[in-house]
């Protein structure tokens, strides 16, 4: 597996984890925990997006 494939896989794992955190936030009844989970998910999504953008600058086509 090449570096680009590994980076794309890692970015997808980060986005998947963010979705899991969003789900947990929706299910929790504790407002503080909900906010904490939502913030963590937001940071992970941004990290995944940055990894995807880094891939795009290496000549890979952007997914539609």
The two structure tokens encoding residue 37: 């989970």
Q: Residue 64 falls within a domain, yes or no?
A: no
Q: Residue 63 falls within a domain, yes or no?
A: no
Q: Residue 62 falls within a domain, yes or no?
A: no
Cβ(2)–Cβ(22) under 8 Å? no
Residue 50, number of CB atoms within 10 A of its CB = 12
Q: What is the domain range of residue 9? A: 3-56
How far, in Å, CA of 42 to CA of 29, rounded? 19
How many distinct structural domains can be found in the chain? 1
- DSSP state for residue 29 in the 8-state scheme: -
How far, in Å, CA of 30 to CA of 24, rounded? 11
The two structure tokens encoding residue 28: 């929790």
| Tens digits of pLDDT across the chain (64 residues) | 577 788 888 888 999 999 999 999 999 999 999 999 999 999 999 988 887 777 766 655 555 5
pTM: 0.73
């Amino acid at each position: 597996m090449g570096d680009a494939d590994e980076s794309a896989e890692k970015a997808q794992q980060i986005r998947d984890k963010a979705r899991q955190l969003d789900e947990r936030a929706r299910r929790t009844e504790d407002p503080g925990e909900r906010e904490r989970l939502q913030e963590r998910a937001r940071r992970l999504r941004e990290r995944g997006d940055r990894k995807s953008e880094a891939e795009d600058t290496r000549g890979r086509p952007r997914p539609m």
